[in-house]
Structure formats: C-alpha cells, structure tokens
Amino acid sequence: MLSIKNLSVSINDEKILENFNLEIKKGETHIIMGPNGSGKSTLCYAIMGHPKYKITSGKIEFNGQNILEMPTDERARAGLFLAFQYPKEVPGITFGNFLRQSSNVKLKESGEKVLSPMEYFKIAKELIEKVDLDKSMIGRGVNEGFSGGEKKRAEIVQMAALKPKLSLIDEIDSGLDIDSLKKVAQSIEEIKSETGMSTILITHYQRLLNYMNFDFIHIMKNGKIVKTGGKELVEDLEKNGYQNF
C-alpha cells in the first residue's frame, strides 16, 4: 500500500532522513519509536508533502501511485491522513463546519452528494461524543482554545470523519493523561477495525502500546530504521532505552 524507497529528506539543507526504506501493507500497523531528533516527524511531513521538507532522492508510492509529484491536498484526497502532534488553529471556522467541509471535499471527489449542515450535525455529534468530548465542540473554532487533550482527540475525530486508507499518527500520546490515552488508543483501534486502514504510529512512550494492536515496531535513529521487531522490542526498550541501537 505504502512503499518508501531510499528516501532522503532535508530541511534547510540539513539532511534528516537518509536512504530510508519502509513497506506497509493494507491493514498493517507499524509503530515507529526513537529518540528525539531521529527523524520520526520528518517522515510524516515528507509523506504528507510539507513544502519545507525537500525530497533529495528516493520515492514514495501509495497504492502504486508516485505521490511525490502530488500537492498535499491531493495526497489527502487519495486517502492519506496525518494526525498532528501540534494541530493548528483556524479561528472563526467552527469545528463542526470544518469537519463537514472536509468530509464534503471527499464526497465531491467521489461524485457523491455533499451533506448540508443539518444532515451533518448528527454525524458530527456522534463522532465527537465517541471520543468523550462534549458536542458543544461543534460550535468552537478549530483548535481555538482547545486543551492539549482536546486537540489530540479532535485529530482522532477528524480521522474518523475522513476514513483514510492510511493514517500517520504523530505523537498522539504526548500530553495525555492515562485515561485519555486509553480512550484515544481505543478510538484508533475502532477506526482500524471499521475501515481496515493502515497505520504508522509514532510514539516516545511504550505505555500507548499496551492498548494497541500492531504488527511491527521500528526503532529509528539518525534518520534511519536501525531495528525492526515485534512486541519483544518493547520490553527490551523498557529495560535498556535506545542506547543499544
């Protein structure tokens, strides 16, 4: 589904990823862990096409399509989604309206009928209540004055609304208390089982993994995957940290 080959990425002429390789099949969940500055977030931004991240070599194919030529919005419409570590505010646009409009972009793309505010209200309410947020969220500006936890849950709500084929989830656990963490992990699992989406999940902490199903863990260091394994890697990390890699 997603195939990354020999990818090198720079920001401001500084090389962050070098000859990075990763293959992800439909429905798989890959966890990426690694110390700060190892290039985890860069990988997400590069896949999604942030203009600051320059691809200096290599390729990324998504469902057989070379996505490096596509602008970010086309990648999104092709089924990629990024849950941000630091979601941006859009003052004056309500979260409900934002959800509806982004869903409508997708519906329009597939030639389906777009939804009116009345039609969408019920959908939005359900999605929001599913992550234990209050429905009043519908009327608040996108990420405007949201607490850290609300922002992260709002990202999950958007993921549920857009039903991506592959989600990149960037440190969704940072700044969440244990109850929120469980809720978020559970919501991601629900979306996965409902839609069969593939997932790349980036995290610093092992504890999120206690609540998630996954197929592989990759340890990243200095812009490369240095180790790939399964659950057993978690215990190793728990004991020894990243120093052995």
Partner 1 sequence: MTNKKQKISNQELADQIDDYKFGFKTNHQAKFDTGVGLNEEVIRKISAHKNEPEWMLNNRLKALRIFNEKPLPNWGGNLKEIEFEKIHYYMQPADKQNKDWEEVPKEIKNTFDKLGIPQAERKYLAGVGAQFESEMVYHNLQETLAKKGVLFEGTDAALQKYPEFFKEYFGKVIPARDNKFAALNTAVWSGGSFIYVPKGVYIELPLQAYFRINAEFMGQFERTLIIADEGSSVHYVEGCTAPTYSSQSLHSAVVEVICKKGAKVQYTTIQNWSNNVYNLVTKRARCDENATMFWLDCNLGSRLTMKYPSVYLMGRGSKAEILSVAFAGKGQHQDAGAKVIHAAPDTSSTITAKSLSKDGGRSTYRGLQQVLPGATGVKSRVVCDALLLDDHSRSDTYPTMDVQENDASMAHEATVTKISEDQLFYLQSRGFSEAEAGALIVNGFIDPIVKILPMEYALEMNKLIEMEMSRSVG
Q: How far is CA 38 from CA 13, 20, 44, 190, 224, in A?
A: 16, 12, 12, 30, 8
* 23 interacts with partner 1 by CB under 8 A: no
Alpha-carbon span 229 to 118, nearest angstrom: 48
Which CB atom, from 51 or from 145, has the smaller least distance to partner 1?
Answer: 51
List Cβ neighbours of 193 (8 Å cut-off, separation of 6 or more): none
Least Cβ distance, residue 242 to partner 1 (angstroms):
28
Q: Cβ atoms within 10 A of the Cβ of 76, count?
A: 20
Task: Considering only the stretches 3-11, 69-77, 127-135, 196-204, report the one whose residues sit in contact with partner 1 under the rule CB under 8 A.
Answer: 69-77
* 48 interacts with partner 1 by CB under 8 A: yes
Name the phi and psi angles at 176, rounded to 5.
-105, 140
Q: Counting beta carbons within 10 angstroms of the beta carbon of residue 30, is it exposed (0 to 12), middle (13 to 18) or buried (19 or more)?
A: buried
Least Cβ distance, residue 166 to partner 1 (angstroms):
13
Residues 116-145 binding partner 1 (CB under 8 A) are: 141-142
* 52 interacts with partner 1 by CB under 8 A: yes
* 113 interacts with partner 1 by CB under 8 A: no
* 101 interacts with partner 1 by CB under 8 A: yes
Which CB atom, from 73 or from 134, has the smaller least distance to partner 1?
Answer: 73
Task: Considering only the stretches 93-101, 127-135, 184-192, 235-243, report the one whose residues sit in contact with partner 1 under the rule CB under 8 A.
Answer: 93-101
* 111 interacts with partner 1 by CB under 8 A: no
Which CB atom, from 89 or from 238, has the smaller least distance to partner 1?
Answer: 89
* 27 interacts with partner 1 by CB under 8 A: no
List Cβ neighbours of 169 (8 Å cut-off, separation of 6 or more): 83, 188, 199, 200, 201, 202
Q: Which residues pair with 125 in a beta bridge?
A: none
Task: Considering only the stretches 32-40, 47-55, 187-195, 213-221, report the one whose residues sit in contact with partner 1 under the rule CB under 8 A.
Answer: 47-55
* 82 interacts with partner 1 by CB under 8 A: yes
Task: Considering only the stretches 49-57, 119-127, 131-139, 207-215, report the one whose residues sit in contact with partner 1 under the rule CB under 8 A.
Answer: 49-57
DSSP code at position 208: G
Kindly give the pairing relationship between strand 80-83 and strand 14-24.
Answer: unpaired
Tokens read off for 221: 């260091």
Alpha-carbon span 214 to 28, nearest angstrom: 7
Name the phi and psi angles at 169, rounded to 5.
-120, 110
Least Cβ distance, residue 76 to partner 1 (angstroms):
4
Binding-site member from 108, 116, 119, 134 for partner 1 (CB under 8 A)? 108
Binding region for partner 1 (CB under 8 A): 48, 50-52, 71-73, 75-77, 81-82, 84, 87-93, 98, 101-102, 105-106, 108-109, 141-142, 158, 162
